[in-house]
Structure 1
Amino acid sequence: MKIEKYQNGERAIISPGEYYVMSKPGVISTLLGSCIAVCLYDRSRRLIGMNHFMLSNPRYSRELPINISEAGRYGIHAMDLLINAMMKRGTSRHELRAKVFGGATIMNPDAARDNFFCVGQVNCRFILQYLEKEAIPVDAMDLGGDFGRVIHFSNGDFAVHRRKVDSRRSDKLAKRDRYCWQKAIEQQQAALTEIDLW
């Protein structure tokens, strides 16, 4: 995990297998392919968290029951870590809302039904079933497809800014990404200075 300070806020960049929770002005970012990032938030506590989970087993089946698959075990572990970290900060499960991203089929989208290349589809199915079972409402999602994503989750308005990955324009897009997350922190700082606390 990498933390960048900006003004009085921060940007946390998480990698596969990591999660982060924040209650101050800031942005959490990650880069996704077939992995999933779940953005959880509690509006009343101004608390956000994001995880980034992936699968590492060489075979997955679209038809295998989720609770006995590697997807279920690793995905459940990632969700438990994130939810527990947010609960330690004062929230409860019934106050959480979600936005989910990722699950792309980057390599060989026409591959056979039960081979390694369906990992993105298995991830998508897992996270939607998990959130439904846990009664965590999904307010937004961008799942599947054949492209990677960079996402920035803001603690100001709980917005997630998403862009498709296009390696041909990486320099220009990196500048736009920096502008995006810095602007989100600036807006959060401005909102804090407009509030009078009594």
Structure 2
Amino acid sequence: MRTEKIRHHLRVILGPGEFYASDSPVTISTLLGSCVSACLYDPINRVIGMNHFLLSNHRYAKALPMSETDAGRYGINAMELLINSMLRLGAKKRFFKAKVFGGCTIVMNRPEYGNFMCVGEVNSRFIREFLSCEGIPLVAENLGGREGRVIHFSSGDYAVYMRKIRSEGRSLRLAMRDRNCWLHAIEEQEKREAAMSNVELWGQ
């Protein structure tokens, strides 16, 4: 996470896996490929927050309920971190509204994916399902497609300013960044699972 100040205004730039919430004037920015950002706001208590998450695998069966996958668990954790951070600042969940962005497919599906979704599709499906289950109105979205996005979320009017990435070279670099992120997440997950398998339980 990086921050910069322009006069008295704060700008926060998120990277993959990060989130930020504020009850003060701020613009939150990020660069999205297959990742998704949920921009949440409580217009009554004037609290906003945004995350940037990439789920921890590259494909899931289309028929499998999202709640039964590692993706669902990972995504729920990313959303709960953001929501809890906003609640600590005085937001009320019943007033929440959401705008969501990202989930593109820069490298098109290959035949071997078959009945599986690529990570952009998984992210898009997850965030819609999560918001629906939590009863948070989705007032705007720009998901999918083949282009990355730069977004800026403003606390002043809760607007999200978006620019699509037209450069093929930059889009491919963005795809590689996302791929490296989820490979790292898979490695960390496998390390935790290996550590847990070596734990002996006593007293049973």
Per the shorter chain, which TM-score range?
A: 0.7 to 0.9
In structure 2, the residue matched to 1:8 is 8
What code does the residue aligned with 2:133 have?
A: K
What code does the residue aligned with 2:88 have?
A: K
What code does the residue aligned with 2:86 have?
A: M
- Cα deviations across residues 75-111 of structure 1 (Å, max 9, x unaligned)? 1000000000000011121111000001111112354
Provide runs of 4+ in structure 1 moved above 4 Å.
none
How far residue 166 of structure 1 moved from its aligned partner, in angstroms, is 2.3
Counterparts of 2:168 and 2:38, CA distance in 1: 27
Q: Which residues in structure 2 correspond to 1:105-184 (within 5 Å)?
A: 105-109=105-109, 111=111, 112-115=113-116, 118-167=118-167
Query: In structure 2, the residue corresponding to 1:60 is in which secondary structure?
Result: strand
How far residue 57 of structure 1 moved from its aligned partner, in angstroms, is 2.1
In structure 1, the residue matched to 2:54 is 54
How far residue 131 of structure 1 moved from its aligned partner, in angstroms, is 0.2
Distance 1:58 1:104, change over 3 A: closer
Identity of aligned residues (%): 52
Counterparts of 1:29 and 1:4, CA distance in 2: 11
Question: Do residues 32 (structure 1) and 38 (structure 2) align?
Answer: no
Mapped contact 2:106–2:146 kept (Cα < 8 A): yes
Mapped contact 2:59–2:122 kept (Cα < 8 A): no
The TM-score normalised by the length of structure 2 is: 0.78
Query: In structure 2, the residue corresponding to 1:50 is in which secondary structure?
Result: strand
The TM-score normalised by the length of structure 1 is: 0.80
Structure 1: runs of 5 or more not aligned:
171-198
Structure 2: runs of 5 or more not aligned:
171-204
Alignment coverage as a number of residue pairs: 169
The two structures, once aligned, show a CA RMSD in angstroms of 1.7
